C-alpha cells in the first residue's frame, strides 16, 4: 500500500520518527525541519536507495568535506572537483544551511555545533524504512557501492562481521567492493556467506592458470531484480585498480580492470536476451571515471557511483546515462525514483537525503546492534588519550591535520627523516576542544596492513614517487586516475604545478628545509600503501601498527595542536585567500 507525502509526514510526526520537537519548519537559511529532509516528489513505481563508502561507520560522526579539491585544468569546475563556494554555486545551495554543512567545509565548526553529527546506521534505518513504508517494500531496492566493511576499530576487530550484520539490518539488496578485499579472499568469501545480499562484479576475473575457473568471472556479473512491476538489471563494477591500490597478496589470482568491452556486452545481454526494463551500473569506479564510462558504454540508464566520496545533490546525465553518487561515511542516502513503462525509463527524480542524526530519531534495533558489536571493546576504544586544540580533519588534496598528526607520531617513534601516509579519503573529524579517543585513532588508521616500516630511499626515488602519485591524482584523463588524494609527507615540502606535463609537476622539493639531494639515501617510514617493499626494514625491533604508534604519541603529548598550514604550495591555483596554494579558510 502506498502512502502519499502528506499522510506520510503526519504518520512520521505521530510516531515521533524525526525527533524535531522545538524546531520550526521554516525555509530560512539557518533552519531545517523533518519535512525539508524528507520532502520528495514521487515518480513512477520503482525506488532505488543508494549508499556508498560507509567505511564501517556504524555510529554518527562529524565528517568535514575538503577545502581544496584540485584537478587537472580540463576538469576544473566539473562535478567531482567542486568544493566550498564553488560547490554551493554549482548546485544552488544557500550558505549556512544543513545542506551546506553536509556538502562543504564552510563554517564547519559553527554549523557542527548547530546541526550535530551525521549518519549512523540506526538513523539511516529510520529513513530507509519510512521510504519502504511509503513506496511499498517490494518497490524499493537498497544498493551499496562498496567500501563498506573497512574503516573503524569494530570492523577491524571483527574482520568485517559487525558491518555485514549492519548491512543485513539495513536490508542491502546488492553490493560491490574495494576495501572489502583487504580482508583477503578467504575471509571475503566467509563474509559473503553471512551477507543477505547479492555481491556482483563483472570486472573481476580469475587469472590463476591452475584454477578450474581460469579466465571466468569470480562473482556473478549482474543481478536481475523485480521492483515496481519492472525488471531491473544491475551490473556490478568493483574498484578496477584494487590489485595496485592495495597489496596484491589479498587478491592473488584475481585480475581487476575497467573492462569496458565486457561491460558493454553485459548491458547488451540484459537488454536483448534478458529483456530488462532498466539497466543500472552499481559502481565503485569513482565519480569522474563513471562520467567517462557513460561516454563510452551505451545503454546504461543509471550509474550509482562510489569510491570518490563526492556528495552529488543533482544527477549528471551524459549520453542518456544518469550518474548519481551518495557521499560517504553514512552521511547520506540517495533516493532515485524511476518511472518505467513499456520497457523503458520515462522519467526519474532524485534526492540526496542528509542523515542528520540530531533530527532523525534512531531506530531502537539499530542502537542495540551498535551496542552489541562495540560492547566487547568499549573500555579500550572510549579511553581518552588527549585533546585537540584545533579541528582534526582528513580530506583535502594535499594536506590534513589528522594526517599531519599521524606523520608526527611516526617520526617521533621511528626517528626517521621523512614519513609517508597514504592519501586515504576515509576517517573522521574532531572539533576544537574535543577529547581524542582511541576509537578516533582507529577511525583514521584501521586497515589490515597497518604496520609502520622504516627503510632507505634515494632522493631521486622520492622525487619520482611524488611525480607518479601526482600523475595518478591529476591525470587529465579520469580513466587513468586510480583515486585517493596526494600522499601526505612530514619532513618534506614542495611546489607543484598541476597543469604541467607528467613528470614535470614537482618543483622546489626540500627535505627538512634543505634542497633534496637526488643521490643521497634518506631514512623513510611509511604505513599503508605499497612502500613497505621499497627496502629492508631498518627498525625491525620497532614494528608496530600505526594505530598503536599514534595512540602512544597522543597520550605522551596530551594536547594536540596541529597547524592548518599545508607543506605544499600549488603554483597554478589561486583560491583568492591570503594563503594562496595552502588551506582555504
**Residue 583 clears pLDDT 60, i.e. is over it:** no
Rg from Cα positions in the chain = 23
pLDDT for position 483: 67
**Residue ending a domain, choose from 370, 396, 415:** 370
Tell me the residue range of the domain where 491 lies. Answer: 382-570
Average pLDDT over residues 40-63: 97
Q: Give CA–CA dist 282/279, Å, rounded.
A: 10
Nearest residue to 367 (alpha-carbon basis) of 115, 62, 116, 121 = 121
Judge if 350 and 474 occupy the same domain. Answer: no
The H or E element spanning position 126 is helix 121-135
Asked if 285 and 307 count as a contact pair (C-beta separation under 8 A), the reply is yes
Asked if residue 272 is part of any domain, the answer here is: yes
Asked if residue 522 is part of any domain, the answer here is: yes
Nearest residue to 324 (alpha-carbon basis) of 302, 355, 339 = 302
Judge if 363 and 506 occupy the same domain. Answer: no
Cell of 46: 520503482
How would DSSP label each residue in 345-402? Answer: EEEEEEEEEE-BTTTSPPPHHHHHHHHHHHGGGHHHHT-EEEEESS-B----SS--HH
Asked if residue 580 is part of any domain, the answer here is: no
Q: State the pairing for strand pair 418-421/332-341.
A: unpaired
Per-residue pLDDT band at 345 (split at 50, 70, 90): very high
CATH of the domain at 440: 3.90.780.10
Asked if residue 8 is part of any domain, the answer here is: no
Judge if 344 and 387 occupy the same domain. Answer: no
Nearest residue to 502 (alpha-carbon basis) of 536, 454, 534, 464 = 464
Q: Give CA–CA dist 225/47, Å, rounded.
A: 12
Q: Give CA–CA dist 84/308, Å, rounded.
A: 17
**Residue 7 clears pLDDT 70, i.e. is over it:** no
Per-residue pLDDT band at 33 (split at 50, 70, 90): low
Asked if residue 467 is part of any domain, the answer here is: yes
CA dihedral 168, 171, 177, 179 (to 10 degrees): -50
**Residue 585 clears pLDDT 60, i.e. is over it:** no
CA dihedral 63, 66, 67, 68 (to 10 degrees): 170
Find all residues with CB under 8 Å of 79, minimum gap 6, and list them.
90, 287, 288, 291, 310, 312, 316
Backbone angles phi, psi at 38, to 5 degrees: -100, -10
- Distance linking the first and last C-alpha atoms of the chain: 50
What does the buried/exposed string (b/e) look like for 228-264 if buried means 16 or more CB atoms within 10 Å of the residue's CB?
bebbbbbbbbbbbbbbebbbeebbebbbbebbbebbe
Length of the chain as a residue count: 585
Judge if 361 and 396 occupy the same domain. Answer: no
pLDDT tens digits, 370-387: 999 999 999 999 999 999
Cα dihedral across residues 14, 20, 25, 27: positive or negative: negative
pLDDT for position 480: 86
pLDDT for position 310: 96
pLDDT tens digits, 106-136: 999 999 999 999 999 999 999 999 999 999 9
Per-residue pLDDT band at 484 (split at 50, 70, 90): confident
CATH of the domain at 139: 3.60.21.10
Q: Give CA–CA dist 235/217, Å, rounded.
A: 13
Asked if residue 28 is part of any domain, the answer here is: no
Helices within 430-503 (DSSP H only): 438-445, 459-474
Q: State the pairing for strand pair 254-255/205-206.
A: antiparallel
pLDDT for position 56: 98
Nearest residue to 316 (alpha-carbon basis) of 292, 284, 341 = 292
Count of C-beta atoms within a 10 Å radius of residue 342: 6
Asked if 361 and 126 count as a contact pair (C-beta separation under 8 A), the reply is yes
Average pLDDT over residues 538-554: 89
Judge if 289 and 363 occupy the same domain. Answer: yes
**Residue 443 clears pLDDT 90, i.e. is over it:** yes
Measured CA distances, 2 to 8, 45, 169 (Å)? 10, 10, 23
Q: Give CA–CA dist 432/561, Å, rounded.
A: 10
pLDDT for position 482: 75
3-state secondary structure (DSSP) of residue 556: helix
Q: State the pairing for strand pair 492-496/488-490.
A: unpaired
Asked if residue 289 is part of any domain, the answer here is: yes
**Residue 533 clears pLDDT 70, i.e. is over it:** no
pLDDT tens digits, 509-518: 999 999 999 9
Q: Give CA–CA dist 317/78, Å, rounded.
A: 13
- Average pLDDT of the chain? 91
pLDDT for position 543: 82
Asked if residue 7 is part of any domain, the answer here is: no
pLDDT cut 90: percent of the chain above it = 85
**Residue ending a domain, choose from 370, 404, 438:** 370
Nearest residue to 313 (alpha-carbon basis) of 66, 554, 92 = 92
Helices vs. strands in the chain: H and E counts, helices first: 18, 25
Per-residue pLDDT band at 357 (split at 50, 70, 90): very high
Per-residue pLDDT band at 237 (split at 50, 70, 90): very high
Measured CA distances, 437 to 149, 321, 378, 386, 400 (Å)? 21, 44, 11, 7, 19
pLDDT for position 574: 54
pLDDT cut 70: percent of the chain above it = 91
pLDDT for position 578: 39
Judge if 387 and 302 occupy the same domain. Answer: no
Q: Give CA–CA dist 512/418, Å, rounded.
A: 8
Domain count, the chain: 2
Nearest residue to 518 (alpha-carbon basis) of 454, 463, 456 = 463
Judge if 456 and 316 occupy the same domain. Answer: no
**Residue 272 clears pLDDT 60, i.e. is over it:** yes
Judge if 533 and 554 occupy the same domain. Answer: yes
The H or E element spanning position 168 is helix 161-170
Judge if 205 and 244 occupy the same domain. Answer: yes
pLDDT for position 531: 73
Q: State the pairing for strand pair 418-421/521-526.
A: parallel
Judge if 319 and 467 occupy the same domain. Answer: no
Average pLDDT over residues 30-45: 81
Cell of 418: 621523512
**Residue ending a domain, choose from 335, 370, 405:** 370
Judge if 278 and 400 occupy the same domain. Answer: no
Q: For 313, which DSSP code?
A: S
3-state secondary structure (DSSP) of residue 54: coil
Judge if 359 and 441 occupy the same domain. Answer: no
**Residue 161 clears pLDDT 50, i.e. is over it:** yes
Per-residue pLDDT band at 538 (split at 50, 70, 90): confident
**Residue 581 clears pLDDT 90, i.e. is over it:** no
Amino acid at each position: 500500500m502506498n502512502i502519499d507525502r502528506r499522510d506520510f509526514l503526519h504518520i512520521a510526526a505521530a510516531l515521533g520518527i524525526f525527533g524535531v520537537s522545538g524546531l520550526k519548519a521554516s525555509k530560512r537559511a539557518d533552519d531545517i525541519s523533518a519535512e525539508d529532509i524528507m520532502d520528495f516528489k514521487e515518480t513512477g513505481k520503482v525506488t532505488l536507495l543508494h549508499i556508498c563508502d560507509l567505511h564501517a561507520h556504524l555510529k554518527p560522526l562529524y565528517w568535514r568535506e575538503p577545502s581544496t579539491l584540485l584537478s587537472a585544468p580540463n576538469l576544473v569546475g566539473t562535478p567531482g572537483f567542486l568544493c566550498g563556494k564553488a560547490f554551493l554555486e554549482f548546485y544552488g545551495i544557500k550558505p549556512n544551511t544543513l545542506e551546506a554543512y553536509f556538502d562543504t567545509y564552510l563554517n564547519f565548526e559553527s554549523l557542527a555545533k548547530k546541526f550535530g553529527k551525521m549518519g549512523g546506521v540506526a538513523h539511516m534505518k529510520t529513513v530507509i524504512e519510512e521510504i519502504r513504508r511509503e513506496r511499498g517494500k517490494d518497490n524499493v531496492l537498497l544498493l551499496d557501492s562498496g567500501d563498506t566493511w573497512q574503516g573503524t576499530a569494530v570492523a577491524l576487530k571483527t574482520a568485517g562481521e559487525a558491518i555485514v550484520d549492519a548491512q543485513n539490518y539495513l536490508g542491502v539488496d546488492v553490493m560491490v567492493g574495494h576495501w572489502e578485499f583487504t580482508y583477503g579472499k578467504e575471509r571475503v568469501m566467509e563474509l559473503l556467506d553471512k551477507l543477505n545480499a547479492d555481491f556482483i562484479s563483472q570486472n573481476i576475473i580469475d587469472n590463476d592458470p591452475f584454477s578450474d575457473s581460469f579466465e571466468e568471472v569470480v562473482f556473478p556479473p549482474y543481478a536481475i531484480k523485480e521492483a515496481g512491476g519492472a525488471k531491473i538489471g544491475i551490473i556490478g563494477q568493483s574498484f578496477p585498480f584494487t590489485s595496485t591500490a592495495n597489496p596484491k597478496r589479498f587478491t592473488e589470482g584475481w585480475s581487476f580492470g575497467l573492462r569496458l568491452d565486457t561491460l558493454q556486452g553485459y548491458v547488451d545481454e540484459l537488454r536483448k536476451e534478458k529483456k530488462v526494463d532498466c539497466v543500472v551500473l552499481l559502481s565503485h569506479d569513482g565519480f569522474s571515471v563513471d562520467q567517462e564510462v557513460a561516454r563510452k558504454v551505451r545503454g546504461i540508464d543509471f550509474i550509482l557511483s562510489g569510491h570518490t566520496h563526492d556528495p552529488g545533490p543533482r544527477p549528471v546525465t551524459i549520453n542518456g546515462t544518469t550518474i548519481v553518487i551518495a557521499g560517504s561515511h553514512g552521511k547520506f542516502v540517495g533516493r532515485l525514483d524511476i518511472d518505467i513503462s513499456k520497457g523503458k525509463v520515462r522519467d526519474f527524480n532524485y534526492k540526496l537525503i542528509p542523515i542528520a542524526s540530531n533530527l532523525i530519531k534512531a531506530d531502537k534495533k539499530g542502537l542495540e546492534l551498535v551496542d552489541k558489536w562495540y560492547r566487547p571493546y568499549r573500555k579500550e576504544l572510549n579511553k581518552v588519550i588527549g585533546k585537540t586544540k584545533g579541528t582534526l580533519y582528513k580530506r583535502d588534496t594535499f594536506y590534513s591535520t589528522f594526517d599531519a598528526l599521524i606523520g608526527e607520531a611516526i617520526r617521533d617513534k621511528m626517528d626517521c627523516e621523512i614519513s609517508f601516509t597514504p592519501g586515504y579519503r576515509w576517517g573522521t573529524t574532531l572539533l576544537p576542544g574535543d577529547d581524542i579517543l582511541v576509537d578516533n585513532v582507529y577511525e583514521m588508521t584501521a586497515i589490515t596492513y597497518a604496520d609502520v616500516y622504516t627503510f632507505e630511499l634515494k632522493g631521486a626515488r622520492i622525487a619520482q614517487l611524488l611525480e607518479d602519485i601526482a600523475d595518478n591524482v591529476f591525470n587529465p584523463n579520469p580513466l587513468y586516475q586510480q583515486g585517493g588524494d596526494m600522499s601526505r609527507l612530514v619532513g618534506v615540502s614542495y611546489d607543484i604545478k598541476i597543469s604541467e606535463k607528467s613528470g614535470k609537476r614537482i618543483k622546489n622539493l626540500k627535505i627538512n628545509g634543505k634542497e633534496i639531494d637526488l643521490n643521497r639515501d634518506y631514512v623513510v617510514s611509511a604505513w599503508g600503501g605499497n612502500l613497505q617493499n621499497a627496502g629492508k626494514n631498518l627498525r625491525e625491533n620497532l614494528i608496530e601498527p600505526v594505530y598503536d604508534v599514534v595512540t602512544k604519541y597522543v597520550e605522551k603529548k596530551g594536547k594536540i595542536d596541529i597547524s592548518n598550514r599545508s607543506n605544499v604550495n600549488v603554483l597554478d591555483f589561486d583560491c583568492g585567500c591570503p594563503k594562496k596554494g595552502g588551506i582555504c579558510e
